């Protein structure tokens, strides 16, 4: 077999992924090297040309180095494939172990659940056996005790509900007491607001904006600002004023001071307000004192 053909066949096989074939080629090449050396010595003994001997020697060295490279490449590829296959087998064995461990854990949990179920069944069976073995007098005593226990539990629940209701009522009462703590004090201040209003109304409308009379103008302005600040303070503490002029009479919010027959208005309409009403945190502190219209009589119409 020629050395060039061996090398070309080896190089072509290196492009494939068949490691067993590459290793076979390497073994064949190793076997051919001593044969080629013997042919070389025979040629050296018979040849008379030293140049031919030198060329054959160089070609033999080159072919030997190529075969060594093929051998190292084949051994490297073979070792890498063995390592990869070993890793894959290790990973597969680890996965199989994990799956087996999970199965064992599940089987153990199922066994424990079955054991607990069996224990509960046994307890129930024992209870049934004991009840069947009991005397009727003992059964009656147990039933009476169970009834007493249920009655006590119901009484306890009712007591808890009652205490919760009392707690809620006391909380609301405390909240109301805090909201209406200033009720008496605020009611006394309403008279001051009414007096300031009467003082402002005593000034004629044409002189309220007349700056020629500086004293009257300054006095009116000061009293007006005082009443405005007082009403803002009332509002800040939950006390608000309302004027029901033109509204329908409401006995819960209004106090009728007089009635006037009016043909151009429906009966029960507020036509005049003597004193405004005040509300403290949604509760009527003072109803508005108003005059209400009524339907005129026939004699009044004539």
Q: Is there a contact between 234 and 265 (Cβ–Cβ < 8 Å)?
A: no
Is 174 inside a domain boundary?
A: no
Out of 70, 102, 134, pick the residue that ends a domain. 102
**Do 19 and 92 belong together in one domain?**
yes
Asked if residue 109 is part of any domain, the answer here is: no
**Is residue 212 in a domain?**
yes
Q: Is the dihedral of CA 281, 283, 284, 286 positive or negative?
A: negative
DSSP conformation letters of 75-141: HHHHHHHHHHHHHHHHHHHHHHHHHHHHHHHHHHHHHHHHHHHHHHHHHHHHHHHHHHHS-HHHHHH
Same domain for 231 and 268, yes or no, is no
Q: Are residues 233 and 243 in the same domain?
A: no
246 with 222, same domain: the answer is no
Note the pLDDT of residue 212.
84
93 lies in some domain: yes
DSSP category for residue 271: E
Same domain, 87 and 23: yes
Q: pLDDT 10s per residue in the chain (302 long)?
A: 444 454 455 444 444 444 455 455 455 555 655 555 555 445 444 444 445 445 555 665 665 666 566 556 555 555 555 555 556 666 777 778 788 888 888 777 777 777 787 778 777 777 666 666 667 787 788 888 889 999 999 999 999 999 999 999 999 888 888 878 888 888 889 999 999 999 999 998 888 888 888 888 899 999 999 999 999 999 998 999 999 999 999 999 999 999 999 888 899 999 999 999 999 988 899 999 999 999 887 665 54
Q: Is residue 243 part of a domain?
A: yes
292 backbone φψ class: left, alpha, beta (φ>0; ψ -120 to 50):
beta
Domain assignment present for 263 = yes
> Phi, psi at residue 55, to the nearest 5°?
-65, -40
Long-range contacts of 186-195 (CB under 8 A, 24+ apart): 186/234, 186/237, 186/239, 186/278, 186/280, 186/285, 187/285, 187/286, 189/230, 189/234, 190/278, 190/285, 190/286, 192/230, 193/227, 193/230, 193/231, 193/234, 193/241, 194/275
Q: Which residue range(s) make up the domain with 30?
A: 3-102
Residue that terminates a domain, selected from 192, 218, 237: 237
* Residue 134 within a domain: no
pLDDT of residue 68: 65
pTM: 0.45
CA distance 128 to 261: 90
Tokens standing for residue 196: 């300031």
Do 285 and 278 contact (CB within 8 A), yes or no?
yes
Q: Which uninterrupted H or E stretch holds 272?
A: strand 270-275
The tally of domains found in the chain comes to: 3
Last residue in a domain, options 43, 71, 102: 102
């Amino acid at each position: 077999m020629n050395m060039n053909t061996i090398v070309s066949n080896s190089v072509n096989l290196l492009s494939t992924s068949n490691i067993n074939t590459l290793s076979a080629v390497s073994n064949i090449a190793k076997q051919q090297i001593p044969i080629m050396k013997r042919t070389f010595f025979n040629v050296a003994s018979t040849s008379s040309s030293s140049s031919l001997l030198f060329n054959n020697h160089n070609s033999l060295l080159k072919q030997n180095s190529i075969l060594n490279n093929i051998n190292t490449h084949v051994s490297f590829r073979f070792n890498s494939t063995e390592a990869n296959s070993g890793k894959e087998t290790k990973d597969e064995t680890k996965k199989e172990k994990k799956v087996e461990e999970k199965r064992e854990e599940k089987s153990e949990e199922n066994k424990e659940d079955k054991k607990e179920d069996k224990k509960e069944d046994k307890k129930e069976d024992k209870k049934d056996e004991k009840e069947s073995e009991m005397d009727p007098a003992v059964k009656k005593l147990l039933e009476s005790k169970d009834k007493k226990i249920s009655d006590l539990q119901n009484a306890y629940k009712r007591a808890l509900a009652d205490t919760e209701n009392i707690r809620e009522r006391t909380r609301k009462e405390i909240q109301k007491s805090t909201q209406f703590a200033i009720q008496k004090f605020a009611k006394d201040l309403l008279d001051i607001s009414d007096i300031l209003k009467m003082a402002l109304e005593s000034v004629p409308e044409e002189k309220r904006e007349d700056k020629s009379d500086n004293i009257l103008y300054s006095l009116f302005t000061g009293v007006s600002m005082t009443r405005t600040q007082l009403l803002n303070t009332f509002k800040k503490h939950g006390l608000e004023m309302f004027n029901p002029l033109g509204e329908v009479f409401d006995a819960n919010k209004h106090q009728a001071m007089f009635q006037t027959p009016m043909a151009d208005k429906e009966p029960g309409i507020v036509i005049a307000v003597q004193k405004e009403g005040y509300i403290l945190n949604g509760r009527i502190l003072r109803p508005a004192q108003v005059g209400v219209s009524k339907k005129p009589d026939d004699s009044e119409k004539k």
